[in-house]
Structure 1
Amino acid sequence: MKGNRIITIGRQIGSGGSEIGTEVAKRLGIKCYDKQLIELACNYGELDQDVLAAAEEKRPNPFFYSVPRQMQNDKTGRGIAINDMVFNVQSEVIRQLAEKESCVIIGRCADYVLREQPGVTSVFVYADMDARIRRIMEVRKLTRDDAITLIKKTDKSRRNYYECYTGKRWGAGASYDVTLNSAELGIDTCVDLICHLYNRKEEGESQD
């Protein structure tokens, strides 16, 4: 029996990774999970959404260590850092989604969480700094200086989070199946390539 096929997309802010993931899912007729993972994790772990959103994709903070007593349960764990709790809960939700359906998952160390799951293609989308600055300025209506500040802050946060929980280098080619330069290739070509990889996995499975 054919298993589900999952595409995980790591991304630099301003690279268009989320847009690429959304378009890939639309074209393939599957779901894309990005910020929806926050709501799903809250429902699964019976958590406050504001608390989870503030802690997700950030490495543990030693000054904000223990999960508040009112949030502790068998699913969230007890006596651990809030960030660890969020990672654990989101990871369980990601594994449940991979078991249930083919889909695209954006960020959240999904490539690592599903490292033992067959049928997973891990992608990292990046772009040169100037292209990222222009995109952030346009999409978020920020000044150039504010866009640069946001990029540096978000890159640092995502890198620390990924490397803390995976032991791999964020954005390094060896950490993923495929890395794509969206500034050089363009959004549409990135979508085409990822869809091609997805369909090739289906062809491979049909020949087994």
Structure 2
Amino acid sequence: MKEQPYVITISHQLGCGGSYIGKKLSEEFHIPFVDRDILKQIASKLNIAEEDLEHRDERLSSFWEEFTRLQLYTEPLAGGELQYYPSDKELFYLESEYITRIVNESSAVILGRGGRYVLRDHPRHASIFITADLPERIKRVATLFQITEEEAKDKIQTNDKERAAFNRAFTKSDGLDTRLYDLSINTSSLGLDLATRIASDAIHFKLDI
């Protein structure tokens, strides 16, 4: 009998090293790392540009963004076809559907996208939350995006607010509540490599792999 696939979900804040840890775990366990591929697949399915979905990643549309979406939905393209842009709710549903399909077929590491909530009832699921102290997040984001530390701080604060609103709207929970996860790690205290090793040990223990 084929063993049921397992899934590792990584929830994280911007600038905490969540992507780094997720990729390292993917390499260690020899399973796919799923991040922005989800948006690429959805964009392809809907025949729209990936960039049109990227700015809505794990955030809610503003009133004017939603108004523009509805306008675009009703205005035909040059070929006479209607251009379709999903609402926030529809986009979350499509992402959830894609995530569920992936883990039904094979084991995977899922970064963000409400994966912890979507797969909360999966029998072989290890959920990890990655955080870090604000000063370190600022430095990492400034380096990553090649911006000033003041700009990095603004970017982090905006991203935190958007993710909080996203979680409230679609998961009905506080994404910073560590009780929701099997393991929470502060990479400022431990560093990325030690944090990865601790996460790996926890995954081996919980999933018995």
TM, length-normalised to structure 2: 0.86
Which whole-Å deviations, capped at 9, do the CAs of 1:127-157 have from their partners, x for residues lacking one? 1111111111222222111111111111111
Partners in 1 of 2:47 and 2:110 — Cα distance? 22
Ranges in structure 2 where 5+ consecutive residues have no aligned partner: 75-81
Map of 1:13-162 to 2, 5 A cutoff?
13-63=14-64, 64=66, 68-69=73-74, 70-72=82-84, 82-162=87-167
SS at match of 2:208: helix
Q: Aligned equivalents of 1:196 and 1:149: distance in 2?
A: 35
Quote the Cα distance in structure 2 between the aligned partners of 1:119 and 1:140. Answer: 35
> What is residue 182 of structure 2 aligned with on the other side?
177
Q: Match for 2:24: what amino acid?
A: E
Identity %: 25
1:71 is displaced (CA, Å) by: 4.7
Shift of 1:166: 0.4
Mapped partners of 1:101, 1:62: distance in 2: 38
Count of residues paired in the alignment = 197
3-state SS of paired residue (1:55): coil
- How far, CA to CA, are the matches of 1:157 and 1:191 in structure 2? 26
Aligned position for 2:10 = 9
Distance in 1, matches of 2:140 and 2:57, equals 24
CA RMSD of aligned residues (A): 2.0
Shift of 1:47: 3.9
The Cα of 1:195 is off from its aligned counterpart by 1.6
The Cα of 1:96 is off from its aligned counterpart by 0.5
Seen in structure 2, the aligned counterparts of structure 1 residues 202 and 144 have a Cα distance that, compared at 3 Å, is closer
Higher deviation after alignment, 169-178 or 180-189: 169-178
Structure 1: stretches of 5+ with no match in the other structure: none
CA offsets 1:103-148 (integer angstroms, 9 cap, x no match): 1111110111111211111111001111111111222222111111
Cα distance in 1, alignment partners of residues 174 and 124 from structure 2: 22
Change (3 A) 1:166 1:148: same
Once the two structures are TM-superposed, the CA of residue 62 in structure 1 deviates from its matched residue by 4.0
Q: CA deviation at 1:46?
A: 4.1
- The aligned amino acid for 1:22 is K
CA gap 1:132/1:172 in 2 versus in 1, 3 angstroms: same
- Structure 2: how far apart are the matches of 1:93 and 1:47? 17
Q: Answer yes or no: is the 8 Å Cα contact 2:183–2:202 preserved in 1.
A: no
